[in-house]
Amino acid sequence: MILFPTYFTHKVTDIDAFLLKNLNVTGLILDIDDTLAAPKTQCPGNDIIKWVNSLKNQGIKIILLSNNFKYRVEKFAELIEVPWVSMSFKPFTKGLHKAIKKISCSPKNTILVGDQIFTDVFAANLFNIRSILVDPISKNKSPFLSFKRFLEKPIKKKIYSNSKLNLNRLKPDSNSKYSAEDEN
């Protein structure tokens, strides 16, 4: 289904290099607002900085892809030392094309991580790459975003009830005998 992610988990830091390597992921495209930090938060938290550095040290290429303005995305990207694409207009795929090109990864080895079904997940599916849906960080929403979250509720209920989409089932401690071939 076009609005279903490949996987879901609760927060970005649930995603580790071991898991990504088992999924043959070499490139990670990250949304910022409500995925890495609360909207209007100017700096990533220490947990996000540590997580990003850990993934980069394991050879995962990371890029930020946001519908937000250049000044917001550029500053955030500089603080975690990764490339970025602003004003991506997700769910349209032009920004994804730019992001993939900037990190020189194949779409089949890249995964997009975001908190919104109608932008992040939909864009990934239109572009034919995998996605991970995470829970939004903040609870305070604009009226428009509150309306989108309301529309997402029945879809999220179906997503969360599908244990095959739960990223945590793929972790070694989940007693799963998973391999990347299971994805194909």
Which residues 6+ apart lie within 8 Å of 150 measured at CB? none
Tokens coding 5: 């992610």
pLDDT value at position 171?
80
What is d(CA 55, CA 47) in angstroms, rounded to the nearest whole number? 12
Tokens of 25: 């992921």
| Token pair 């089932």: residue | 169
Going along the chain from its start, the domains and CATH numbers come out as 7-174 (3.40.50.1000)
**pTM across the whole model:** 0.90
Structure tokens at 20: 């990504």
| Mean pLDDT to the nearest integer, 2-29 | 96
Q: Mind listing the pLDDT tens digit for each residue in 26-78?
A: 999 999 999 999 988 888 999 999 999 999 999 999 999 999 999 999 999 99
> What pLDDT, on the 0 to 100 scale, is given for residue 176?
43
More confident residue, 170 or 89: 89
pLDDT in tens, 116-172: 999 999 999 999 999 999 999 988 678 888 888 899 999 999 999 999 999 988 887
DSSP letters for 7-53: EEES-GGG--HHHHHHTT--EEEE--BTTTB-TT--S--HHHHHHHH
Q: How many C-beta neighbours within 10 Å does residue 8 have?
A: 21
| Cα 51 to Cα 69: distance, rounded to the nearest angstrom | 24
Mean pLDDT, residues 83-94 taken together:
97
Look at residue 173 in the predicted model and tell me its pLDDT.
64
Evaluate if residue 97 carries a pLDDT over 90.
yes
**If phi over 0 gives left and psi between -120 and 50 gives alpha, with beta otherwise, what is residue 66?**
beta
What is the pLDDT at residue 180? 42
pLDDT at 168: 87
